[in-house]
A and B are shown apart, each in its own frame.
Chain A
């Protein structure tokens, strides 16, 4: 009533995009994430140092830019600026990819289980329970002994294998609640085939909570990767990830705080941005939000 209907075409994704672009905080968060990613990708090329090159003359150098070590060096004289950005690259790649993998598997698995119901649902969710109850470190150790230790592909597999379980549970719960809503019944009465009901009606309606969860698992994945690195199962030296940089830095906290602060600052900024983005995405995918 208050405004004449705009002639512009509307649709779930288009509207969500428009609403997201209208949210200044979300835009800022998205911009910062993109900036950090871009920086991590391009900036190391401008430094004379490589991520694994040692500078014996400047061990544990404080930030200040001497000898082009803009953010200082670690105990072995490796450039912290380059290493941190290298770590950001590895961590972002691993966590975003792992989140996507776990999201796709989890959403499909959970939605199918919830929609199918009955025995199918029972078996699918029991499998999730069994995987849940296996100590995931075993899975990771088995995977890493079967293949190369510390390889990105194996880590991705390990992180993804753990992540989708929770997503599947959340999605199944949502799907169960949605299944009995009248609009799903209406779709069935019209004769919409089950896969189309799943993709056209169920999935869009559970995207809200799932997207929030997804943006929460990205930071979780970063943290989980650092834990694996700590056990020697994650990214291996001389490669760096935010996780193992922070762990090393934590040990030097008293004598050389910058070793902790530099990677931690990047992590904190990324985490905050992902959380803001998640919140904005939830709002964007709810047409009732204005």
Chain B
């Protein structure tokens, strides 16, 4: 018998205890160790946060526990669930443990649900696997579960198919399925990563509530320290397959001992302690600057769907503007229309006095050297059949066709160096690079023509936290050096605060608020901005649980049938009858900010923004 930590075993048997768990994969290129000697325990009623970047092996550890490793994977060591050794359990017995003993929620709720079966039936099916009940009873139980996980209009949802639900609703359905066996332990693997901040907060709040209510033990696998701060009691930090630090959440987040954990904590942007971009360049926003990019009443329609509705804004030379909002708010469409990658349905885009929509094709192409863009998917935005050198050098081939091959290669190498990549990488293919390296290649390609406007469309949302911070730092540095304008699209408000002088808040394709970023973050005027800010997780276990508990319900309505009047009124806590009748004006406030809200005058103004963010 291998010795198990006897003291822990005797005192109160942990719900799950791993000791010396090692996960290996046999690959054609040899044996690969995904997790090495992982020892941890999850006590009754406790939530353990497992933190690490992608590839750290955090998912593989728990897939091994569930017996769900890929065919070439093997687990050694011990994983005990309520005293039962899971690693050597027969498949049939393991099946009983899965679901009834341990429930699991995955990152992508779409691929975890069967597309052609109504969700009610899917939940009922799982219930009938666990308990011998009649079909009708199972349906009733499924309905109760859906109500419990706060699915709106559960009767109707029962008959809907997964694709008819929003991402947040699908994740709730997944949680309902995981709860249907009344498990003692719930493993949630990045349950909120693909969701918006607002929905993220709702789901995390729901998980915290369920944990309390059922005394259920929970494992929350995530790369987001904010999520951990709100829900977890203890934290285990994984790096390259090994645990580098474990401890109570407050101790780990506030006084990390391991250097890696320290980097992680330092690099997680904090909304409440952020430095403002405007603060770094004092006085610049006060001086009147010439408008470089002007959008006037820009509208983009796809058939019946209005993705962007009458957006007007000015971007001054050398300014950085953030565009924030939930997914589907039209922020990506807006920047693509600004670049004429999409043809706007109406409205004008003027760059340095030239209306882009009226330009002949050739002239627009020549102008593109001034207007560059970085994309969200670092790997997907690079041609898989081209080497890094060819990718970065391609803009030169287009805009400086006379340049000789050698000169082009030299410029490419210089740019690679400038974005922090080794010049030898020029001969690599994109798939041979990490996500962060790929994004640097994308930045190098955009910067090689020395553009005067750089648009970043969610440039870091696919990257790990430390990498995010590096890329943002790089962007800030490039902007300082070149004096270009920056249009930064993101759903991460904490990052936007670091980088942008002004911020535009979009909701369902409409402008809600436009303000200098210090003002917006400390004293948001629009109720939607308030909701967004309140939903951003703060990696501080002292305040985050309380913030989470106040998460507001609701998701954006379908853009196919937007509400009348103010589009935000269906979620707005301050909605009045007038909001349904008239579309609010895009009003200019005395201090220069702009808000589209009927009631902004009556709403409590917070003198200090942290008050709004941190206290009700």
Contacts and interface: CB of A to CB of B under 8 A. Distances in A.
Interface stretch (A1-9, A24-32, A159-167): A1-9
Contact of A187 (B364, B380, B385, B394): B394
A59 B427 CA distance: 64
Interface string B379-393: 011111111001000
Contacts of A186: 373, 375, 381-382, 442, 445
A12 B387 CA distance: 8
Contacts of A8: 427
Nearest to B422: A5
B431 A189 contact: no
B399 A287 contact: no
B339 interface: yes
B372 A185 contact: no
Contact of B381 (A6, A182, A192): A182
Contact of B369 (A6, A7, A191, A193): A191
A11 B428 CA distance: 10
A196 B398 contact: yes
A64 B449 CA distance: 74
Contacts of B431: 287-288
B384 A190 contact: no
A190 B376 CA distance: 16
B383 A183 contact: yes
A288 B384 contact: yes
A10 interface: yes
A113 B384 CA distance: 22
A12 B369 CA distance: 26
A161 B366 CA distance: 40
Nearest to A206: B385
Contacts of A185: 336, 341, 375, 381
A286 to B, nearest CB: 8
A5 B427 contact: yes
Contacts of B336: 185
B368 A190 contact: yes
A193 B427 contact: no
Interface string A1-45: 000111111111000000000000000000000000000000000
Contacts of B371: 189
Contact of B383 (A196, A201, A288): A201
A205 interface: yes
Contact of B380 (A5, A7, A181, A201): A181
B425 interface: yes
Contact of A192 (B364, B382, B398): B398
Contacts of A239: none
A18 B377 CA distance: 30
A196 B395 CA distance: 12
Contacts of B382: 183, 186
B365 interface: yes
A285 B386 CA distance: 11
Contact of B385 (A12, A189, A190): A12
A5 B373 contact: no
Contact of A182 (B339, B377, B395): B377
Contact of A191 (B384, B386, B390, B395): B395
A287 B369 CA distance: 29
Interface in A155-197: 181-183, 185-193, 196
Contacts of A204: 383, 385
Contacts of B366: 191
Contact of A11 (B380, B381, B387): B387
B429 interface: yes
Nearest to A188: B341
B424 interface: yes
B372 A189 contact: yes
A168 B557 CA distance: 42
A52 to B, nearest CB: 49
A23 B427 CA distance: 22
A190 B395 contact: yes
A5 B424 contact: yes
Given A12-B385, A189-B341, 13 more contacts: A5-B427, A6-B427, A9-B427, A11-B390, A182-B375, A182-B376, A183-B381, A189-B368, A189-B373, A191-B398, A192-B398, A205-B383, A287-B431
29 contacts: A5-B424, A9-B427, A10-B387, A10-B427, A181-B380, A182-B376, A183-B380, A183-B384, A185-B336, A185-B341, A186-B375, A186-B381, A186-B382, A186-B442, A187-B383, A189-B339, A190-B445, A191-B366, A191-B369, A192-B398, A193-B365, A200-B394, A201-B383, A204-B385, A205-B384, A285-B385, A287-B384, A287-B431, A288-B429
Interface of B: 336, 339, 341, 364-366, 368-369, 371-373, 375-377, 380-387, 390, 394-395, 398-399, 424-425, 427-429, 431, 442, 445, 449
